[in-house]
Amino acid sequence: MHALDKDQAIIVGHDWGAPVAWYCALLRPDLFDAVVLLSVPYLQRSWADPRPTEAMRYLAGEQEFYQLYFQEPGKAEAQLEADIRRTMRMLLYAASGDPPPEKGWRFLFDKSEAFLATGSLPETLPEWLTEQDLDVFSRTFEQTGFRGGLNWYRNIDRLWESTPFLCGAKLTQPTLFIAGEVDPVITMYQGAFEVMEQTVPHLRQKVLLPGAGHWIQQERPAQVNQLLLEFFAGL
Among all residues, which ones are annotated catalytic? 15, 214
- For the chain, state the CA radius of gyration: 18
- CA-CA-CA-CA torsion sign (80, 85, 88, 93): negative
Find, among 124, 115, 101, 119, the residue nearest to 182 by Cα. Answer: 101
What secondary structure letter does DSSP report for 70?
T
How many residues are listed for the chain in this entry?
A: 235
Q: Which residues contact 73 (CB under 8 A, 6 or more apart)?
A: 147, 150, 154
Q: 3-state SS string over 71-124?
A: CCCCHHHHHHCCCHHHHHHHHHHHCCCCCCHHHCCCCEECCCCCHHHHCCCCCC
Strand partners, 50: none
Residue type, 2: H
Pairing of the two strands 64-65 and 32-38: unpaired
